[in-house]
């Protein structure tokens, strides 16, 4: 009997079969060896250089990635790339060289910060005081759209005279998460929920740096045409519908008084002067005339890390002027700034003339950091917290508001434009309304 066909593979390696054979697969030994050697060099070089004392610099806006462990599960393998990239020695020099080549031969900065890939990254939340370091800070910045929608935008817009602007100022208005009218309507609803319980509500919208200091913006930049028309609409609706305090004239007046803008040239946040203007505006809104006895005097000047340069592989600094604030004209009540505000932080002090003594909660975003040290000088019973906490700690945030009689919400313009304010989630508003109804202010 003749044997039938068999499905067994040929008894030789597929690379040894004739080229004409359908199962022939050539070897790639040399290419595979080259790839293995390259991978070994890439991953082993940071470890070797660390052993001999060479350390990588933190040239981006985050701490260097740590070496993954078995506790990370599959992250032990997927995390190696981030670790090797961050800890590659001389990376800072390579970035600077790339930027120099791009500017010298192509007349434009190297596109380190172009959108469309990777997780969105925000700047550090405010400039540290002399008592803080950037590593002590987390990033509560909201108002960012998904990475797939960032294509064509820049994280940093380079202006004239070494001024830098945060690209999300334009991105948030061009690619919002929801229509502006819906966000403003939710702000108005938040006001109604809080005030219906007998509490006082103050909404402060902080202008973007692009709104207050546009004179250093380049003639053209991504998002300029679509963001421009949104700005006046946003302010008109925020003031007329949501009842926001308009900080623009106050900040413009302060800039004239100090003969300089109240925003840092290479940081997305305002200066101490801007924070003090907000403090005075809020205190006066709660109790008219309360700030008449205040004495604000310059204390000293320190240097902090600017948050925008690291986003494009550079370094920059803020010259920070610190102030004393004597609410009664005699005693300075300024505390240290803090960025550790995901958990509510409370302050209590002796009542003085010029201070508001009603229990007050101030919720805000990264602009709250620069004001956090000055707020206790105006409020004797104060709780401060990021409103971002409403996402993962809604009960804690509800408790912060419920335990207060005055509620202040500080939110930067770009977050209003993007529709990314955690307090405005309908589920959170329902939960807050239920609790406030159980604990009204008589």
Q: Which residues of 414-423 are buried (b: 16+ CB within 10 A; e: fewer)?
A: bbbbbbbbbb
- pLDDT attached to residue 21: 72
pLDDT 10s digits, 308-355: 998 888 889 999 999 999 999 999 999 999 999 999 999 999 999 999
* Residue 295 burial by Cβ neighbours in a 10 Å radius (0-12, 13-18, 19+): middle
What ranges in 198-245 are assigned the alpha helix state H? 209-212, 224-227, 230-240
Share of the chain above pLDDT 70, in %: 68
Rg (CA), the chain: 27
Picking from 20-29, 247-256, 267-276, which range would have the lowest pLDDT averaged per residue? 20-29
Nearest in space to 169 (alpha carbons), one of 119, 224, 129? 224
Which of the pair, 28 or 373, is modelled with greater confidence?
Answer: 373
| pLDDT confidence band for 358 (50 / 70 / 90) | very high
pTM of the complete model: 0.73
Mean pLDDT of the chain: 82
Which of the pair, 140 or 210, is modelled with greater confidence?
Answer: 210
SS3 state of residue 315: coil
pLDDT 10s digits, 37-58: 776 766 666 666 666 665 555 5
């Amino acid at each position: 009997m003749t044997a039938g066909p068999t499905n067994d593979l040929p008894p030789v390696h597929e690379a040894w079969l004739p080229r004409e054979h359908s199962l022939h697969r050539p070897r790639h030994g040399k290419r595979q060896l080259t790839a293995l050697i390259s991978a070994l060099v890439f991953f082993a070089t940071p470890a070797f250089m660390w052993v001999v004392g060479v350390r990588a610099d933190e040239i981006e806006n985050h701490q260097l990635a740590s070496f993954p462990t078995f506790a990370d599960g599959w992250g032990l393998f997927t995390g190696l790339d981030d670790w090797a990239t961050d800890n590659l020695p001389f990376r800072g020099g390579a970035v600077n060289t790339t930027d120099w080549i791009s500017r010298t031969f192509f007349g434009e900065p190297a596109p380190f910060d172009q959108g469309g890939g990777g997780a969105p990254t925000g700047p550090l939340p405010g400039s540290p005081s002399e008592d803080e370091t950037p590593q002590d800070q987390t990033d509560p910045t909201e108002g960012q759209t998904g990475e797939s929608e960032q294509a064509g935008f820049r994280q940093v817009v380079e202006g004239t005279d070494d001024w830098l602007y945060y690209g999300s100022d334009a991105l948030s208005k061009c690619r919002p998460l929801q229509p502006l009218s819906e966000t403003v309507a939710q702000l108005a609803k938040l006001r109604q929920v809080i005030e219906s319980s007998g509490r006082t509500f103050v909404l402060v919208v902080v202008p973007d740096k692009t709104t207050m200091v546009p004179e250093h913006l380049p003639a053209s930049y991504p998002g300029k045409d679509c963001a421009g028309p949104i700005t006046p609409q946003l302010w008109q609706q925020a003031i007329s519908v949501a009842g926001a305090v308009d900080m623009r004239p106050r900040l413009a007046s302060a800039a004239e008084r100090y003969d300089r803008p109240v925003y840092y040239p290479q940081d997305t946040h305002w200066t101490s002067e801007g924070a003090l203007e907000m403090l005075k505006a809020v205190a006066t809104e709660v109790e008219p005339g309360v700030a008449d006895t205040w004495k604000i005097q310059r204390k000293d000047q320190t240097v902090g890390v600017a948050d925008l340069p690291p986003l494009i592989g550079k370094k920059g600094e803020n010259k920070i002027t610190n102030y004393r604030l004597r609410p009664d004209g005699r005693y300075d009540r300024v505390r240290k700034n803090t960025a550790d505000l995901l958990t509510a932080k409370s302050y209590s002090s002796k009542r003085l003339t010029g201070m508001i003594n009603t229990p007050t909660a101030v919720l805000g975003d990264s602009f709250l950091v620069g004001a956090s040290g000055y707020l206790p000088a105006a409020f004797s019973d104060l709780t401060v917290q990021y409103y971002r906490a409403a996402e993962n700690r809604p009960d804690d945030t509800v408790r912060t508001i419920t335990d207060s009689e005055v509620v202040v919400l500080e939110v930067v313009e770009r977050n209003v434009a993007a529709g990314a304010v955690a307090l405005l989630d309908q589920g959170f508003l329902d939960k807050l309304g239920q609790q406030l109804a159980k604990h009204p202010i008589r």
